Structure formats: C-alpha cells, structure tokens
C-alpha cells in the first residue's frame, strides 16, 4: 500500500508507540493522586509539558493538553468569547477554516455574535486589507488557520497578527494542526495568543493534542470537573498520550525533511500541469510542502479515490472530517473555482517517509486510470 493521506492522519512512529506503551504499562498512576506512584506520573506529565512548550517557544504553564485539534479549537474559541462577551461581540474568521473552527463560529453567530468572514483569492490566501478594514474596538477574537488542510495554502499569520494587535484589542487564534512538523511554528516569534496542535498529524497518537494559551489570554473552561490543566480542561490527564505527543513533537522537528517533500511536490506539480485532463488547485507559491490538491473536471473525487485504491494507492477528497458527507469542498469553491472543479478534486498528502518510487507509482497509476475513467465523458 502507498499511503498518501497523511493530512487525514499519520502512522505513529515506532518510538512514539514505544513511549506510549512504556508509560501505559509502567507509569499508569493518576497524576492527581497524592501517593508516590501518582507523583511519578505527574513528573512525567510535567516533563512532557515543558518539552512541548520549549519546542514551540512557549512557557510550560501556557500548554493545555487536550484530546486533539478539535477540542483545542473549541476550547480556544468558546473559552475566549465567553470570557470577553461583555467587552464586545465581533468575531472574525476565514471562509476556509476546518469544520472544528467554522462550525463553532457559525454556532456563535446563532447565539448573537457578529461574525465577519475573510474572503480568499484564487491562491486561497486572505486579504490583509480586508482584515484591517474589519477590525474594530468591538472585535474580541480572530481565528485564521496556518495551513489549509485541503489545499496546503499558507496564510500570512505574522502579518495578520501585527494588524490585529495594531488596530484592535482582539485575541488571535491559529489552527496549526496542518502546519506543525512541516513548516516552522513558534509562538515566541509571533503575536499569536492561542494555537492548536494535534499529535496524530505528525506521527503521534490519536486522541492527543494541545492548546497553547498565552499567559495574558483570558479563557473560560468548557468542562467542569476536577480542575486539571490549570483549571481549564478537567478530567484525568492522558499521561501516556502527553508523553508520546512530546516525543512526536521532538521527532517532528528533528526529522522534518521539507526539502525532500518539496522535491516530490515539485515533481507532482510538473506532472499534473502537463496533464491534459487535470487542473491544479494548490498554488505553487505560499503552500506547504506536503499537500497537493488537483482536480479532474468531469469526474467525482470519490471515483478517483476508489480507482487509485484499487491500484494500492491511498488519497482522499476533502478533509477526513467532511469526506463521508459527499459535500463539495467549501474551501475550493471559496477560492473561486467552479463546482465542477471542486467536485472532481482530490488531495494527495505526503510525509517525510514518502519515497520517490511511491510518487512515480502514483503518476503511473494516474496516467493509466484517469483516461480510462474519462472515456465517454465530454470533459
């Protein structure tokens, strides 16, 4: 099997699995317990928190371990808006956010918040001028994803953050689920107040993630309980998951081989650009090295996915959270592409383990299967 759906999830590394199993089998005490066995677990959790913080340029107390990116996004958005609703009710996000951000913002709009949505161009990037115009004294939160999960487009996070701080008192939330481990992520070098990460996107375990919350950012807890995670995320902590996540984060920074993946991406862009029946969706500039979105107008994306799977190659359509709903990509249509192109798009997402031979086999299968599928279709 050739696995090219790494944006949906990655295979946990052997070292990450080993660390998870060691903690699960040997240090399974509750870190909130007073006895020594629990204290040992608490020490491991504290070390994992410190390691995770150091890797992204944060302080240890600014790390909240969660069950993944969705919970981190929900905690950030709901926690800030509930804390600041007495100061303003204006919130801003983009057309192309992941459902775990987009759906929360739409829910808040139903509750009376004034929602402004940043448009994107053909390259999938926001307009900084539009952001500047939308900011006001009533704005309390802006959410902009770092790397789009469907197209790989990189947003101008640093420039957006400067505008937010200059023209408003709003807090800035960034969904970095698709960027960590692929492009640099450092909160100490930006004006980001809240940042979400999910371990299973970079060879960690599913069910583990974190939210960076700057010390100045007010946040109301969304789950009542035993006040774990500095009172912001109650529930017995997943020590093994946190330790394994810190391990995956270390590996992600040590093993990141963007040049290798960028080379494979350039090869695929050239291949698809020379194909008479494909349309590139992912922009060549301002896009992450690991994601390519390409469309075959006239076909459905799921038809392409199924055809390639028969050849032993795994790709996907939209985000894994939305693909089974058979909905046409909101992101691709927001970029100005036709319904036909959005309907026929597929995502190819690589990892540092992806090889040249695997990409060549994808090209071979594509050259064979797609013309066969298009027979009899006037595209």
Helix axes 14-26, 239-255, angle to 10 degrees: 160
User: Helix (H, G, I), strand (E, B), or coil: what is residue 40?
Assistant: helix
Of 344, 339, 282, 330, residue with least CA distance to 119: 330
**180-195 b/e with 16+ CB inside 10 Å = b?**
bbbbebebeebbbbbb
User: Helix (H, G, I), strand (E, B), or coil: what is residue 130?
Assistant: helix
Residue pair 237/29 in contact (Cβ under 8 Å)? The answer is no
Residue pair 304/346 in contact (Cβ under 8 Å)? The answer is yes
Residue pair 369/307 in contact (Cβ under 8 Å)? The answer is yes
Provide the token pair at 371: 């013309």
How many helices (H) and strands (E) the chain has is answered by 12, 12
Residue pair 96/331 in contact (Cβ under 8 Å)? The answer is yes
The number of residues in the chain equals 379
Helices (H), the chain: 14-26, 36-56, 69-84, 99-110, 128-134, 157-167, 239-255, 258-273, 301-310, 330-334, 339-343, 356-374
Q: How far is CA 217 from CA 76, 91, 331, in A?
A: 10, 16, 29
In the chain, the N- to C-terminal Cα span, in Å, equals: 30
Residue pair 202/181 in contact (Cβ under 8 Å)? The answer is yes
Catalytic site residue from 128, 321, 365, 374: 321
- Active-site residue 321, yes or no? yes
Residue pair 249/202 in contact (Cβ under 8 Å)? The answer is yes
Active site residues: 321
């Amino acid at each position: 099997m050739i696995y090219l759906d790494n944006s949906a999830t990655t295979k946990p590394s052997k070292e990450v699995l080993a660390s998870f199993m060691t903690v699960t089998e040997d240090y399974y005490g509750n870190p909130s317990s007073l006895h020594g066995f629990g204290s040992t677990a608490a020490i491991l959790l504290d070390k994992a928190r410190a390691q995770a913080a150091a890797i992204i340029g944060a302080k240890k107390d600014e790390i909240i371990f969660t069950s993944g990116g969705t919970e981190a996004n929900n905690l950030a958005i709901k926690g800030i808006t509930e804390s600041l609703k007495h100061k303003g009710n204006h919130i801003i996000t983009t057309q192309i956010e992941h459902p775990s951000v987009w759906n929360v913002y739409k829910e808040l709009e139903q509750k009376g918040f004034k929602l402004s949505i940043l448009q994107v161009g053909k390259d999938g990037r926001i307009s900084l001028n539009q952001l500047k115009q939308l900011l006001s004294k009533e704005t309390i939160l802006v959410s902009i994803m770092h790397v789009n999960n469907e197209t790989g487009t990189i947003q101008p996070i640093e420039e957006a953050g400067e505008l937010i701080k200059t023209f408003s008192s709003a807090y800035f939330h960034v969904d970095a689920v698709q960027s960590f481990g692929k492009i640099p992520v450092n909160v100490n070098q930006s004006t980001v107040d809240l940042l979400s990460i999910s371990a299973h996107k970079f060879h960690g375990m599913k069910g583990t993630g974190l939210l960076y919350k700057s010390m100045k950012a007010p946040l109301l807890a969304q789950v009542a309980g035993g006040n774990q995670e500095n009172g912001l995320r109650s529930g017995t902590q997943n020590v093994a998951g946190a330790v394994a996540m810190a391990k995956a984060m270390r590996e992600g920074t040590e093993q990141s081989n963007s040049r290798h993946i960028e080379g494979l991406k350039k090869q695929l862009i050239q291949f698809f650009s020379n194909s008479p029946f494909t349309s590139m969706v992912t922009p060549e500039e301002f896009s992450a090295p690991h994601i390519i979105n390409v469309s075959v107008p006239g076909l459905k994306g799921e038809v392409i996915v199924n055809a390639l799977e028969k050849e032993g190659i795994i790709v996907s359509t939209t985000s894994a959270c939305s693909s089974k709903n058979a909905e046409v990509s909101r992101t691709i249509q927001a970029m100005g592409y036709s319904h036909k192109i959005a309907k026929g798009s597929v995502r190819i997402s690589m990892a540092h383990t992806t090889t040249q031979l695997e990409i060549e086999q994808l090209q071979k299968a594509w050259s064979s299967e797609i013309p066969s599928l298009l027979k009899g279709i006037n595209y």
